Chains A and B, each alone.
Chain A
Amino acid sequence: MTAIDAITMPKWGLAMQEGIVPAWTVDEGQEVSAGQEILDIETAKVANAYESPVAGRLRRKVAAEGETLPVGALLGVVAAGDVPDADIEAFITDFQANYVPPEDDAAGGAEPEFVEAIGLRLRYLKAAPEDGDGAATPVLFIHGFGADHAGWMFNHAEIGADRPAYALDLPGHGGSAKTIGDGSVGGLAQAVLGFLDALDLPRAHLIGHSLGGAVAATLALDQPDRVASATLIAPAGFGDTINGDFIEGFIKETRAKKLRPVLEMLAADPALITLQMVDEVLKFKRLDGATAALRSVADANFAGGLQAAGLKDRLGDAGVPIQVIWGAEDRVLPAAHAEGLPAGVKLTVIPGAGHIAHMESSSEVNDLVRAFLPD
């Protein structure tokens, strides 16, 4: 059978219902490789390039530029150059005849939930395979400084298609309680442990970014029986320095115009930072207690642009599988922090990605995560 592949509207974030296609970045008839950016997609929350999941020739652009389409709708068709046009047409006709747009109330299950853990009300979002949780060990996503569960929008649904996947708002962040104690990595790790207890999860695969990477590494070292594996994306605690301008600017700036250049430090391509994203960060920072919580975290972990760097050397003693992923162009925590990892810790440095590699190179990060998790 000759392969014809449908390019469909992705689901970025569990609440996403539809997206706009502002522009294609390849032409009809052009050969594309898997992971190549082929079109831009905008949602109410974010704009990003969409990477082709397959290799082949782009035979048809089905979505017109400027068109708004629901999740799962046909955007284009990729197939080898020798597949007859008639087969492509038949494939499109067949797809459109069978395509059912997701119902609006399907988003009902995508609302964040709350749980009490170590005396704090914590918010989280859960994704799970369509046929239920199953027996697989769940995944827990742990975001970085100032972020929340929505930062995993390009990863959460993808990974959650195979096993239950939780994305937590750390204390002081997102919709969780703004009480944060001393704000240290150790304190946050205790909260994550409390979250696992509260949801009755004996073990989880941890995926942590930045500050959340330090939290995941700490749990892997201190609670190896609770951690099935750890994927650390640009983790804190691996080198002596951190970009103090980013931390201070993130806390201090209250206007979009001033905050945007700070957030642009997160990405290799500043165009990823949209007005909507800046607005979301401002809305979080205005919540009562949020800025004070950020200040506590920064003072406890990143005072004066410095950080405690002890985690990396201890990883060799961790009894659980650990991989590290870093964007080569990270301007918050340099990729050089990954040099000299202990033997047995897998490292992937992604060219062209900045501090938020899980957003900028989401397909590659998702592949790395899936390859690292047991079947």
Chain B
Amino acid sequence: MPRKSVRQAINEALRQEMERDDRVILIGEDIAGGMGAPGDKDAWGGPMAVTKGIKPAFGEDRVLDTPISESAFIGAAIGAAATGLRPVAELMFIDFIGVCFDQIYNQAAKFRYMFGGKAVTPVVIRTQYGAGLRAASHHSQSLYPVLTHIPGLKVVVPSNAYEAKGLLIQAIRDDDPVIFCEHKLMYDDEMEVPDETYAIPFGEANVTREGDDVTIVAIGRMVNLANQAADNLAKQGLTCTVVDPRTTSPLDTETIVETVEETGRVVVVDEAYPRCGMAADIAGLIADQAFGALKAPVKQVTAPHAPVPFSPALEDLYIPSVERIEAAVRAVADYGQSAAAE
């Protein structure tokens, strides 16, 4: 099977869905490049070149470069979705969502509910999140918990190229507004990705490792770090189950609770801020639904409650690391063991 990067997988998903359904259009800043100016019409393909080559293939009517006005083009995409198109908008950085947030949380998210289930809003908002690119506090946040908070939105945080393609195809075919969050450090990560089209259902977690001792629930890029931690610990005789929820809304509580019931010990890993973040949310639902199975307190590994630092040294410390995940797993694995021995 051919190997593809996350960038290629997303590009291929967009092309294949545009091929399949001519209602699918792309809209956003610099997604082709050269807005309104003479010259190259495929200059950029977005800041990470994810949409490169799509404008020449599908034409100017279906790949729309916009002025730098998130409230205008996100609003336009939502309106187009409400009236029959299936737009995929690119919000360059999730950090800019404040500019267009009313359109998303108080309009798109409410249409189905407020119009008696008769309105559909099949819009996808692709956006970059995450720290590690030395891009400072304005371009490095993991804000998907803010969107997960809003009923009516679906929120996808893929963990690799295979997942990204299948989840994006599902997002485009979904009739509800979907926020699709891509980690900016993962665009070059490669793996085997089928050439064919496939959709990964929302709300079905993926179990990437199976173990007996500790459950690690991790979001997005953190899944890969959790897998590394699990592989390292397995060599030392401590085995972990790793759960990738894939979508934070809807959230597959069933799989999370089932795996917690098997191990009784849990670490939740999330790059987002800790207050009202995914780690706190998942720890809360485990306390609510699987308290009887717990043998140790649920441990959270997150960023600190602080903006992402620009100093490279501080940024590296800020992001949850494999070492921190391993230490947390050891802590919950040891909990109660030493006390019993004393």
Chain A residues within 8 Å of B196, by CB: 175, 287-288
State whether the Cβ of A254 lies closer than 8 Å to any Cβ in chain B.
yes
- Contact-residue bracket for chain B: 10 to 19
Given contacts A255-B255, A257-B255, A257-B258, contact A288 B207 (CB under 8 A): no
- Chain A: minimal CB distance from B319 (Å): 28
Collect the chain A residues with CB atoms within 8 Å of residue B198's CB: 283, 286-288
- B194 interfacial contact with A, CB 8 Å: yes
For residue B169, which residue of chain A has the nearest CB? Answer: A288
Does any Cβ of B come within 8 Å of A275's Cβ? yes
B166–A286 CB distance below 8 A: yes
Whole-angstrom CA separation of A10 from B176 in the bound complex: 50
Contact: A255 with B194, CB < 8 Å?
A: no
Residues on the A chain within 8 Å of B200, using CB? 286
Residues in B204-253 with C-beta less than 8 Å from chain A: 204-207, 209-210, 235
In the complex, whether B318 has a CB less than 8 A from a CB of chain A is no
Known A275-B210, A283-B162, A283-B194: A255·B204 in contact at CB below 8 Å: yes
CB distance from B241 to the nearest CB of A (A): 10
Question: Cβ of A254: which chain B residues have Cβ within 8 Å of it?
Answer: 201, 204
Interface-centre pick from B162, B166, B207, B255 (highest chain A CB count, 10 A): B207
Q: Is B199 touching A288 in the complex (CB atoms < 8 A)?
A: yes
> Does A373 have its Cβ within 8 Å of any Cβ on chain B?
no
| Known A-B contacts A283-B162, A286-B166, A287-B194; A256 and B199 likewise in contact (beta carbons under 8 Å) | no
Query: Is B197 in contact with chain A by the CB < 8 A criterion?
Result: yes
Residues of A274-297 whose CB lies within 8 A of B: 275, 283, 286-288
- For the complex, what is the distance from the CA of A257 to the CA of B241, rounded to whole Å? 12
Question: C-beta contact mask, A247-269 vs B, less than 8 Å → 1, else 0?
Answer: 00000001111000000000000
A256/B166 in contact, CB under 8 A: no
Distance A255 CA – B198 CA, assembled complex (angstroms): 15
Partner of B207, one of A175, A275, A286: A275
Distance A254 CA – B201 CA, assembled complex (angstroms) = 9
In angstroms, how far is the closest chain A Cβ from the Cβ of B50? Answer: 22
Q: Mark B307-332, 1 if CB is under 8 A from A, else 0.
A: 00000000000000000000000000
CA distance A225 to B197 in the complex (A): 39
* In the bound complex, CA of A275 to CA of B210 (Å): 8
- CB closest residue in chain A, given B259: A257
Which residues from chain A contact B255 at a C-beta distance below 8 Å? 255, 257
Q: Select one of B201, B207, B235 contacting A256, CB under 8 A.
A: B207
Query: With a CB–CB cut-off of 8 A, which chain B residues contact A256?
Result: 206-207
Q: How far is the CB of B203 from chain A (nearest CB, A)?
A: 10
Contacts of A175 in B (CB 8 A): 194, 196
Query: 3 closest pairs, A vs B, by CB?
Result: A286-B198, A288-B197, A287-B198
17 A-B residue pairs with CB within 8 Å: A66-B235, A175-B194, A175-B196, A255-B204, A255-B205, A256-B206, A256-B207, A257-B207, A275-B207, A275-B209, A283-B162, A283-B198, A287-B194, A287-B197, A287-B198, A288-B198, A288-B199
